[in-house]
A and B are shown apart, each in its own frame.
Chain A
Amino acid sequence: MITTDGSRAGQREPAGPELYSGSEVIARSAIMAGCRFFAGYPMSPFTELLESFSKLMTGPGRVCVDAESEIEGANMVIGAAATGARAATGSCGQGIALMQEAIAESALNQTPIVVFNMARGQQDYFQATRGGGWGDYRTITLAPKDVFEAGEHTQLLFHLADKYRAPVLLYGDHFIAHTEVSIRLEAREFGPLHPKDWALDGALGGTGRSRQIWTWNSGKVLSPGPGPDEHWRRIGAKFEAIAAAEQRWESAHEGADTMIVSFGTAAVFVERVVAELRAEGHSVGWFRPITLWPFPAAALERAAAGASRVLVFEVNAGQMVEDVRLALPDRSRIASIGGVSFDDSGLRYGTLMDVPEIRARVVGALSRERIR
């Protein structure tokens, strides 16, 4: 049964699944995961997520701030997270660009923040996985394929942020934000976490053991920290450990002659195209990274080991294909079959995100001479 809160008080308790948009699923999942602070600035198609949080973050200890800018919202979230609260923000593309400094800061001062990119398309892959902030940091990035996964990923992200004391990102899009599904939301358990003894509460003031949160981590005179050199080495090592432990992916028909790699919403379309082509006798399979970072390189290599073609479908000018090239020793097999595609508003996927279009591109690739 959905955990309703005061916002639904007085209404009949739902007897079964509810019809919710992805935006509302994400907000409700975040609150189920214990998120107590949200700050955001409206921007299509993220705006409905802000509206959902604004409507639902009621009751004692829960706060939603209409941040006056993305930069301010992201820094409010760092402050909230510094006190030990689960805190989140979000935006899309250009707004996430404004938050890059804060995301890097969160990575280097180890304040766990959750960031929702409800993207206009798939062209924020580099932004999410490479990051535009300073320093040796990475951002755990989950790319759900639909509203159901978005809800699951949301709860998981709060756990991962706390587990690793790092910023984490959900790569959603306008389909996920605006599609309504019938869903039964349930709180999930992820196992115990280390207590937040680093969180600021003022309690140790005047004792000589007062706390400090700082990207330099030099500590106090009476309780020194490791300092920037050692601290940044540890951060680097932490992200290496995360890379080894947190890769997630999904694939089907490994060993097929042609493997198609795609992420997020695009993967739903690719899965459909593969089903159609397989029914016609083609040897095709698909691979979907769920974590864009850490990219599941070894899993892709295994899945594509028997393939003579690795086709990368993404709705952008070619971003994830670079990670595919890094993952596969034989790059001559790789071909990009995606491309830029927007509608006239510039805010939504264009005609390429459609089964017949994708199928045509795959068929075109299948018919070309093999380069081996």
Chain B
Amino acid sequence: MTTTQGPGLSGARQVAQARPNLLQTTEHHFCAGCGEPIAMRLILEVIDELDLAQRTIAVVGHGCYGGFVRQIDVDVLQCLHGRAPSCATGIKRMRPDSVVFTLQGDGDMVNEGLQEVLHTAARGERVTCVLLNNGVFGDTGGHLTAATVLGQRTKTSLAGREAAEHGYPIPVADLVASLRGTAYVARAAVHNGPAIVTAKRVLRRAFEHQLNGDGFTLVEILTMCPTGWFVSPSSGGTYSETTLAGAYPLGELTTAPKPAEGGTDAAAG
């Protein structure tokens, strides 16, 4: 039942549309308060606004977000866990005019697929990898990943992640930003309105860098997982703002494309 409360809609202009044009159905089975559908909405809105739908190929890893492969209205290749950047490489090399993005969680990219994303970035492949980082393996029920932050409780770190026992989280966006093949890296979040607006802006910039042929682009989006975090859905945003973003500062990690570098690394002379 759709309700309209207050005055009717005559004379009004719509400023926000519930269902993105590129989403085939709004029905989904993500938990209450999950940040992934929010991130997915932003990606679809950017693709739509840049009029890229008929050139886009999505390359999806394994995680809760895998649920989107049935309802996003772009061509989709569902890959093996961690391998999306490699599949994306093959796709982009064979169809250089296509717009290729990966959709991966932290379990997929930072655990299983760490070397895939680093090598793809180092090669400067003109693809955009999107990391949905909630610090857990959500799809299996909420377990420790290489991105889980210190102190974070998961089903395999019930007392909270401890450096002595579990080691330290890996800030993959920083690693990627340090590589010369990388054109643009940004870390964003969807834990409140302003963050969401910025997240959409950096996603757009990443796709624009791809369209420009500048090199590899990565957008990390911190997403709420109240189920995995043992918090209520309504406080997921606060947890993301304080705990996750504390460990993964938001912002653009690289901005300008690297100047074209020809020749060798050998010392001159």
Contacts and interface: CB of A to CB of B under 8 A. Distances in A.
**A contacts B directly (C-beta below 8 A):** yes
Interface of A: 36-37, 39, 61, 63, 65, 67-69, 71-73, 75-85, 87, 101-102, 105, 109, 200-208, 210-216, 218-222
Contacts of A210: 72-76
Contacts of B98: 83, 201-202
B75 A201 contact: yes
A220 B67 CA distance: 11
Contacts of B86: 67, 71-73, 75-76, 79
A68 B52 CA distance: 31
A223 B78 CA distance: 16
A200 B92 CA distance: 11
Nearest to A200: B75
Contacts of A65: 89, 93, 123
Nearest to B47: A205
A201 to B, nearest CB: 6
7 contacts: A78-B77, A83-B57, A200-B76, A200-B91, A202-B99, A206-B53, A220-B70
Given A82-B91, A201-B98, A212-B78, 8 more contacts: A67-B86, A69-B119, A75-B116, A83-B91, A201-B75, A204-B75, A214-B76, A214-B78
Nearest to A76: B90
Nearest to B22: A206
Among B53, B75, B79, max chain A CB count under 10 A is at B75
B129 interface: no
A221 B74 contact: no
Contacts of B88: 79
- The prevalent SS among residues of B at the interface is mixed
A184 B171 CA distance: 55
B71 A37 contact: no
A29 to B, nearest CB: 20
B190 to A, nearest CB: 23
A155 B78 CA distance: 29
B80 A207 contact: no
Contacts of A81: 90
Given A220-B24, A220-B73, A221-B71, A63 B54 contact: no
B201 interface: no
Nearest to A102: B80
A307 B79 CA distance: 50
A85 to B, nearest CB: 4
Contacts of A219: 70
Which 8 pairs between the two chains have the least Cβ-Cβ distance? Answer: A79-B90, A79-B87, A80-B90, A206-B53, A205-B53, A75-B86, A214-B78, A76-B90
Contacts, number: 154
A203 B95 CA distance: 12
A37 B57 contact: no
A205 B87 contact: no
A76 B80 CA distance: 11
A206 B21 contact: yes
B73 A208 contact: yes
A221 B70 contact: yes
B145 to A, nearest CB: 19
Interface in B90-143: 90-91, 93-95, 98-99, 115-116, 119, 123
Contact of B24 (A75, A79, A105, A222): A222
A208 B24 CA distance: 7
A72 B116 contact: yes
B59 interface: yes
Contacts of B71: 220-221
Contact of B77 (A61, A87, A213): A213
Contacts of B22: 205-206
B78 A109 contact: yes
A264 B57 CA distance: 41
Given A75-B79, A78-B90, A202-B75, A221 B25 contact: yes
A37 B57 CA distance: 18
Contacts of A72: 83, 86, 115-116, 119
A109 B12 CA distance: 48
Contacts of B76: 200, 210-214
Interface string B45-68: 000100011111101000000000
A75 B125 CA distance: 15
Nearest to B83: A75
Contacts of A39: 90
B150 interface: no
Nearest to A105: B80
Among B53, B74, B94, B116, max chain A CB count under 10 A is at B94
